[in-house]
Protein backbone atom coordinates (compact mmCIF):
# COMPACT_ATOMS: atom_id res chain seq x y z
CA UNK A 1 0.00 0.00 0.00
CA UNK A 2 1.29 3.48 -0.80
CA UNK A 3 2.02 6.29 1.61
CA UNK A 4 -1.62 7.39 1.78
CA UNK A 5 -2.50 5.41 4.91
CA UNK A 6 0.43 6.76 6.91
CA UNK A 7 -0.34 10.26 5.71
CA UNK A 8 -3.96 9.92 6.82
CA UNK A 9 -2.89 8.70 10.28
CA UNK A 10 -0.46 11.61 10.63
CA UNK A 11 -3.12 14.16 9.63
CA UNK A 12 -5.55 12.62 12.13
CA UNK A 13 -2.98 12.76 14.91
CA UNK A 14 -2.07 16.34 14.07
CA UNK A 15 -5.74 17.40 14.05
CA UNK A 16 -6.24 15.90 17.52
CA UNK A 17 -3.18 17.75 18.79
CA UNK A 18 -4.30 21.00 17.14
CA UNK A 19 -7.79 20.66 18.59
CA UNK A 20 -6.43 20.39 22.11
CA UNK A 21 -5.29 24.02 21.91
CA UNK A 22 -8.50 25.38 20.40
CA UNK A 23 -11.81 26.25 22.00
CA UNK A 24 -15.51 25.89 21.26
CA UNK A 25 -16.63 25.13 17.72
CA UNK A 26 -13.11 25.53 16.38
CA UNK A 27 -11.92 22.73 18.66
CA UNK A 28 -14.87 20.52 17.72
CA UNK A 29 -14.12 21.06 14.01
CA UNK A 30 -10.49 19.93 14.48
CA UNK A 31 -11.75 16.77 16.20
CA UNK A 32 -14.30 16.19 13.42
CA UNK A 33 -11.52 16.39 10.84
CA UNK A 34 -9.45 13.96 12.93
CA UNK A 35 -12.43 11.57 13.02
CA UNK A 36 -12.69 11.76 9.24
CA UNK A 37 -8.99 10.98 8.89
CA UNK A 38 -9.32 8.05 11.28
CA UNK A 39 -12.26 6.72 9.29
CA UNK A 40 -10.16 7.02 6.09
CA UNK A 41 -7.40 5.01 7.76
CA UNK A 42 -9.98 2.37 8.75
CA UNK A 43 -11.20 2.18 5.14
CA UNK A 44 -7.62 1.87 3.88
CA UNK A 45 -7.05 -0.95 6.37
CA UNK A 46 -10.19 -2.72 5.12
CA UNK A 47 -9.13 -2.36 1.47
CA UNK A 48 -5.56 -3.50 2.13
CA UNK A 49 -6.87 -6.57 3.92
CA UNK A 50 -9.39 -7.42 1.21
CA UNK A 51 -6.70 -7.14 -1.45
CA UNK A 52 -4.47 -9.49 0.55
CA UNK A 53 -1.78 -6.92 1.27
CA UNK A 54 -2.01 -7.26 5.05
CA UNK A 55 -3.70 -9.25 7.81
CA UNK A 56 -5.12 -6.78 10.31
CA UNK A 57 -4.98 -7.97 13.90
CA UNK A 58 -7.92 -7.82 16.29
CA UNK A 59 -5.80 -5.51 18.46
CA UNK A 60 -5.39 -3.02 15.60
CA UNK A 61 -9.10 -3.11 14.75
CA UNK A 62 -9.98 -2.57 18.42
CA UNK A 63 -7.60 0.40 18.61
CA UNK A 64 -9.15 2.03 15.54
CA UNK A 65 -12.67 1.52 16.90
CA UNK A 66 -11.67 2.94 20.30
CA UNK A 67 -10.14 5.99 18.63
CA UNK A 68 -13.29 6.56 16.56
CA UNK A 69 -15.43 6.22 19.70
CA UNK A 70 -13.22 8.70 21.56
CA UNK A 71 -13.48 11.21 18.73
CA UNK A 72 -17.25 10.74 18.60
CA UNK A 73 -17.48 11.62 22.29
CA UNK A 74 -15.22 14.63 21.75
CA UNK A 75 -17.43 15.95 18.93
CA UNK A 76 -20.78 15.07 20.53
CA UNK A 77 -20.47 16.16 24.17
CA UNK A 78 -23.24 15.39 26.60
CA UNK A 79 -25.00 18.48 27.83
CA UNK A 80 -25.51 18.48 31.58
User: CA-to-CA distance for 39 and 30, rounded, in angstroms?
Assistant: 14
What is residue 12's predicted lDDT score, i.e. its pLDDT? Answer: 57
Query: Over the chain (80 residues), what is each successive 10-residue block's mean pLDDT?
Result: 51 62 74 88 93 93 91 83
What is residue 58's predicted lDDT score, i.e. its pLDDT? Answer: 92
| C-beta separation of 55 from 66 below 8 A | no
> Who's near 32: CB < 8 A, 6+ residues apart?
71, 75
Amino acid sequence: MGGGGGSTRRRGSLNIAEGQLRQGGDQRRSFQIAAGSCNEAKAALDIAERWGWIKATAELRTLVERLLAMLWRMTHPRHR
